[in-house]
Structure 1
Amino acid sequence: MNVEIIFLGSGGGRWATITQKKPTGGFRIHTDKLKLHVDPGPGAIVRLNELKISPWKTNSLFISHCHPDHYNDGEILVEAITNGMTRRRGAFIGSLTAVKGFGDYEYVISKYHQSKLELVKALFPGEEVKVYDHIIRATHTKHGDPFGIGFRLKTIYGDIGYTSDTEFIPKLIDEFDGVRVLVANIVRKKNEKVRGHLCSNDVIDLINSMENKPELLIMNHMGVKMTNPISEAKYIESLTNVKTIPAKLGLRIELLKNKIVL
């Protein structure tokens, strides 16, 4: 069984998205059957081709909420999933807003594109869905999009958690307790709090509140003010005793039974 996480960048937020100083292509989770693209922001397709990862092999799409740094290339991924809209194939999992829209938030994958997918599912926190051979459970967020979600994905070699964009809220402790790998969207360093997002100290509090800490923390979705992510990773690691690394374009993580290969 293969379980791999591949990053198509590390950036997030408006300014990182506009400048592309940190690429915003999201990340992938590959297993033997699941080829999932998570939050394909601007440049996702370009970065896939740059890394020689075939977009055509994608079979699932997850969009956490309705901000363009998380969904911009989503419809192009659907075109790849469905072989140019010629086959009914694949899955799209996302927040209520991303899938159906709500109020000022419009759905981000057109009804035309959704019509060619085998599975389209909006999830609320706590709900689960089976996608190929894996279970995805939606987690809570507190962000500008009121229906945004993260997830916890069960794999044969341990769970992978993704916070998406969120402030620290106590519910996250139980939702991510015991994950083997946690991908945390950390926009700011140290205790530089910003509404709707995590800073480093928030993640430190989150991890240190868990009974079963993750084996690996990956810093993701970093803003332009995160100028020294390597130093910040060392800071988080020193206060949590959890191996911490910043995401970057081309970073690959392989989960094995007894170790994680970086």
Structure 2
Amino acid sequence: MARRALVFFLIFASPALAVTCFAVSGLAYKEQVLCPGSSTCCGTADACQDNRLCKNHDDDGSTPYIRGPCAEKTYDPAKCGAICVYNETEFHNNFFPRVKKCSDGSFCCSNEVSCCSRGNGVFLAANGDIVDKSSVSSTTSTETGTTQSISAASTTPSASEPAPESAPDSPSSASRNSTTESTAWKVGLGLGIPLAAILAGLGAWYILKRRQRATAPAGPQVEAPSTENGTSQPYHANTSPQAGLSELSAPSRPEKPMTPELDATPVRRGR
């Protein structure tokens, strides 16, 4: 049931996707697909590319791309394919120009046989704009290992020999910077978190030690005897032997000598 519903959806949705687009010659082509982000049109069997070209569905290996028609009635290279912009009826028998990719990443029209071998290819930026070859700088690609990056500079394409362009496969400097910042952020977290934990532990240990020292008991104290007004003052105990003698010794009262008792001998009286 779900498969049948999907089939009906595709049948009725397909006509809604088809639009009428126009060639450089001004001829109208119906049932074309409008590519997102530009006015480029591609055939229903082809695939839209970010560089405003179409991926050739019947590619034999030599011409993988097509410069398709444009949704603008008057063909505009700034909104549609920027290379191989020539009259299809005069140069290609009413077929859209086929585009081949050279080994250095540049693009050539299929009717220019020696374009790649002579280094006459053009470089396309990611959005399909043509960039002058002299502005292309050599740099390392983080994704494909290529060494071509494009600096923005637009030129006006000619019908006979298009200007060089930037390679579409090279990543932008923004993506490389984002990757570098992400890596640096991860490394910083990996080192910073353990270091912060160690410093926090040392700080807690130091504070605990200081509190223990501050609350340690002082030396022993004793209370002095009460004074006349009933108050007492603490003082340290005197352990001197002389002090002890002076406090404890007191004059003793003399004892009376004991009188010896006499034997009671009875006295005889004379007769």
If the length of structure 1 is used for normalisation, what is the TM-score? 0.20
More strand, by proportion = 1
Larger Rg: 2
Structure with more contact order per residue of length (Cα contacts < 8 Å, sep ≥ 6): 1
